[in-house]
Amino acid sequence: MTSIKRSNALQRKALQDLNPTSKPEMNFSPDTNLDSSNEISVIVEFKQHTANIAIMPEKYKGKSLTRVEANKKLEALHEQFKKDLSQLKIKT
Q: Judge whether residue 4 has pLDDT over 50.
A: no
- Indicate whether 27 belongs to any domain: no
Is 15 or 58 the better-scoring residue by pLDDT?
58
Interatomic CA distance for residues 74 and 67, integer angstroms: 10
- Indicate whether 39 belongs to any domain: no
Q: What is the pLDDT of residues 17-47, one digit of tens each?
A: 655 555 567 777 888 887 888 887 878 777 7
pTM of structure: 0.54
- Indicate whether 29 belongs to any domain: no
Q: How many domains in the chain?
A: 1
- 70 touches 57 (CB < 8 A): no
- Indicate whether 77 belongs to any domain: yes
List the domain range (segments joined by +) for residue 48. 1-21+44-92
- Indicate whether 72 belongs to any domain: yes
